[in-house]
Structure 1
Amino acid sequence: MVFKFRRLEMWSRAAFCVALFLWLSACTSVPLTEGTSLSSQAGLSPSGGTLTKAKLRVDSAPVLAAQTARIEPTSAQIGSRGFDAKDLALVTNAIDRAICTDLSDRFRVVAQSQPADLVIHATVTDIVATNRTAAAGSIVASLGASVADLGVPIPRLPIGLGGLAIEAEAVDKDGSQRAAMLWSRGANMITTKARVSAVGDAYSLSSAFAADFSRMLIKGNDPFNRTLAIPSMQKLRASLGGNPKYDACRAFGTAPGIPGIVAARFGLPPSWTDKGAAAFRK
């Protein structure tokens, strides 16, 4: 009996090592695509993490002195890619909502009609479409493993993974750029849940970009030189579908909350649970 247990433990460890190797080696490579929305690209320095590519600059003193922030709606410069307009709007709105929530930890976020110390604007410069057939296959395999109670995470199929590229900046009241970032990241087989939607991975990665860009403004330095931090209560509340800390963030709707978590678990398209900003514009 002990021998069988040890043998099962060895197989579990081996499976974990294989999954870790696949995670590190099999992810979509998304180039840092430069758009035309930044007021300047001067002084951008290479940065990033294990999965993320980035170039950035930040003027620490004026950014740390800022107290208010205004978020202009994210735009897209991806040309004609065949994406559904509603799906694309869902991605750009998810970026705005996540930035608004994250910045609320330090800044007072004001409405778009009000002046602010920093004005933030992001632009989607590339979306690598998720292959819906491959995503569906991954979901079936994952659910099958759960039913069988194998106890080992099943990685996604190493094909059809999507990705996202964004550029963003923060300018002061005089229009001078105080921070800027080029950012790109591809989905990977382990940590990015498969969703049957052409923008499924781009939607999932929007929160990762928002976290990196917001951290740069909150700390006034390179966000990739960081230690783990416990999410604030306001951020947890907003992520579960609660009202945001500031009324200005209501322009981007509320997060799908628990229904969204369940939908992601079963690989459903984001549009099934995320109503975007439409519900708050009626």
Structure 2
Amino acid sequence: MKEIFSSNRLEDFEIDLPKKGGRIKAEAVTTEQILSWADESQKKLKTELEYLISVAFPKLPEKDQNEFVQKFFRRLRGNFYRQAILFRNEKNELIAAIVFDFGEIEYHGKTVKTIYSILRVISKEYQASGLAQFMGAKVLMELQPDILMLTAYQSAALHAYIRLYEKGAITGFEIYPRLEHIDGKDVLITVPFKDTDLVMHIFKQMFPGVINYDQERIDKAIRNLTVLMTRKNDHEEVYDFNPWEKHGRKDKLAEALGLTYKDGVVVMFKKVSKDC
């Protein structure tokens, strides 16, 4: 089993959700730990995740739903490891989960502490409870990575993370991409040119584990990754709505990035205090 230093992993915790009432228990586990559980415990978690993901993403093809479930049960190669946080209500029902990969990547003689957030899923009953914002802030502020990446495929996910930055739920990080209102105009702020090579390097190191080392998909993702960190033609149409609209209105940020329904965008948080 891989050795994971305590500073690189979360511990179990509990939270109160004022909007919902009741106390939520959060269990932080690595893939290695899950795979050491008894078969019945693993089977129970798999069944719970299948239900949670099917309810949260009803339009997602069953094949893709199953792939999301399997991400909680896969070991990674090399010096990377996968961690999940399982959220349960007072009835011990699984109401949310987040899974992400963690690794320390060498870049020009420096070690860059990096997280790639793979999936954040919340039951419909808790989607307006503030839990989504809490999950993102918890991972960032507790683990303090130099870089956190994720791919957003719709406006709701993209702006949920941007709000963490805008509302001060996280401190000490910059976020890209974003719009800033400067001299009366919306200005697109993307990954600084000096950081582009670093971001590409990290993506190439971490993304293979996200898709289970499928070389064809790895090649496609890298080939279609632009300097704006958009992932062109990344997936087929899976939504019955325009993913880059907010409440029926055009998303100005998505429009500035040139996103279509087949595209994703890599969202990046970079720690301000360290020069990577």
Give the TM-score normalised by the residue count of structure 1.
0.28
Higher RCO by CA contacts (8 Å cutoff, separation 6 or greater): 1
| Higher strand content, 1 or 2 | 2
Give the TM-score normalised by the residue count of structure 2.
0.28
| Higher helix content, 1 or 2 | 1
Larger Rg: 1
